[in-house]
Amino acid sequence: MHPEQPDRSKFPNDFIWGVSTSAPQTEGGATDGSRGASIWDEFQSRGLFFRKKIEPGITCDFLHRYKEDIDIIHQLGIRNFRLSIAWPRILPDGKGKVNQAGIDFYRRVFDYCLSKGITPWVTLYHWDLPLTLEKEGGWTNRASVEWFCDYVRVCIDSFKDQVRHWMVMNEPLVFTGAGYFIGVHAPGRRGMNHFLPALHHALLAQGKGSRLIRSLQPEAMIGSTFSCSQLTPYNDTDNDKAAVQRMDALLNRLMIEPALGLGYPIAELPVLKRLENSMQPGDEKDLIADFDFVGVQNYTREVVTASRWVPYLGAKLVPAKKRAVPYTEMGWEIHPSSIYEMIKQFSSYPQVKKLFVTENGASFRDQLVNGQVDDQNRIAYFKGYISQMQKAVHDGFPVKGYFVWSLTDNFEWAEAYKQRFGLVYIDFSTQARTIKNSGYWYTNFLKQ
Ligand code: IFM
């Protein structure tokens, strides 16, 4: 790969540069009573989709080391930090009694950010549903919409003097698809009968949650973040092009379009008609979110081919490994122009006035040698993707900021600790932090 060199001066002065993390991937505290159990704690202990059980542990121990991590962000000259609140830390049983120690913890974190001149951008739901709620059906239970709104109310009331930037949900397609359709993420359920109600209730919660934030904090900046990938046909045939349309409806349109008032993409995915079973009068309107911005999360492009063996979709992805293209440790193709294409696609909705790239990054097999991690592959990745974002800014698309995934190596879901995405290397046996060369590269780029 021969990356272009992005030029910081070509971005507006008020362009937002940041780093992202999430509570379940960094905080820890699963077993010390500082929070209630989440569906991920239980899923990990079951060990169903891991080669072995990964007992929920301290991950990156952000719970105790948040000052050290925020100091690193400060040292790197980064002024925006996207993180999430753990629902089970605020409401250990998901509803009812509030855990004051949890509120106090986040108040200390946000205070410390603000004291360092770092703006917190806070995701309310990054996949860690309280386990007690899953026992009542989790997202498949329509009551989840009200459970979520009650939790949102506690968060806004508790933190609105410290936090203005809110993201209601992180990647609703991933936690409903991987968690309730294919079962490779918590809570490990499978099939359309779980997936469709979960997806509908999560999107209703997103719509209602966004309006609730607005009513409690009118000056808030509100959005949600959506996973998305550029899609291209494997063969230049009508069949593969039609497969791309169906895959686009699933991967890129299904979650955002109802929130924008465009409804579900039923024409491309007729199986979505079954959502009628979960719909109640007024839902179409309630799905519409009150967003100031949309978070685009792009890592890769996918190549799609028609397949009659894939139920409902008739399409499948052709892995990067089979296509002789460069890819990351996750097996995701390195294809910088995909970020440009997704910014362009999401900008084409007239309802979307502002976009932030809320996640972009790469996992590689990093080596700590003599106290250094020389991750040139990650630097090349960022150069390529940030250059494409520069092109999007130049071409007038309303992209206003960019957050690297991730600040530190962390718990990468079903991949556990095998995948390292951080600008900061973590030795998980000692919790020692080492800034990788990509971290220094990002700092120097921001200083330009
Ligand atoms: O680690 C995840 C994150 O939680 C959500 N977006 C993708 C990242 C990399 O897989």
Query: Using an 8 Å Cβ cutoff, are 276 and 253 in contact?
Result: no
pLDDT one-digit tens code per residue, 333-364? 999 999 999 999 999 999 999 999 999 999 99
Distance 362 CA to ligand 1 centre (A): 10
CA 264 to centroid of ligand 1, rounded, Å: 24
pLDDT on residue 321:
98
User: Is the CB–ligand 1 distance for residue 412 below 6 Å?
Assistant: yes
Whether pLDDT at 326 is above 50: yes
* 377-404 confidence digits (pLDDT tens): 999 999 999 999 999 999 999 999 999 9
pTM: 0.98
- Whether residue 2 lies inside any domain: the answer is no
Whether residue 70 is predicted with pLDDT greater than 80 in this model: the reply is yes
pLDDT for 277: 98
Q: Which residues are catalytic?
A: 171, 359
CA gyration radius, the chain = 21
CA distances from 159 to 5, 34, 99, 103 (A): 39, 19, 14, 8
Domain span at 46: 8-447
Q: Is the CB of 22 under 6 A from ligand 1?
A: yes
Of 298, 406, 415, which is best to mutate to test ligand 1, by the most ligand atoms within 8 angstroms of its C-beta?
406
Is residue 1 domain-resident?
no
Domain count, the chain: 1
Distance CA 173, CA 315 (A): 17
Q: What's the token pair of residue 371?
A: 């106290």
Asked whether the beta carbons of 78 and 446 are under 8 A apart, the reply is yes
Q: Among residues 384, 419, 424, 382, which one has the least CA distance to residue 403?
A: 382
Q: Is the CB of 332 under 6 A from ligand 1?
A: no
Q: Quote the ligand 1 centre to 412 CA distance (angstroms).
A: 7
280-298: average pLDDT:
98
What tokens does 420 get? Answer: 């390292």
Span 27-56, pLDDT tens digits: 999 989 999 999 999 999 887 555 567 878
Residue 405, ligand 1, Cβ within 6 A = yes
pLDDT at residue 48 in the model:
59
d(CA 114, CA 119): 6
Give the whole-angstrom CA distance, residue 141 versus residue 133: 9
- Residues 59-81 have a mean pLDDT of 98
Report the SS3 class of residue 414. helix
Q: Is residue 3 part of a domain?
A: no
In a domain, 167, yes or no: yes
Give residue 55's pLDDT. 79
Burial class (CB in 10 A: 0-12, 13-18, 19+), 221: middle
Each residue of 402-431: pLDDT tens digit? Answer: 999 999 999 999 999 999 999 999 999 999
Q: What is the rounded average pLDDT for all residues in the chain?
A: 97
In angstroms, how far is the first alpha carbon of the chain from the final one? Answer: 23
More confident residue, 33 or 166: 166
To test the pocket of ligand 1, the residue of 128, 413, 415 to mutate (highest count of ligand atoms within 8 Å of its CB) is 413
What CATH number does residue 307 fall under? 3.20.20.80
Compute the distance between CA of residue 272 and CA of residue 89 in angstroms, rounded to an integer: 34
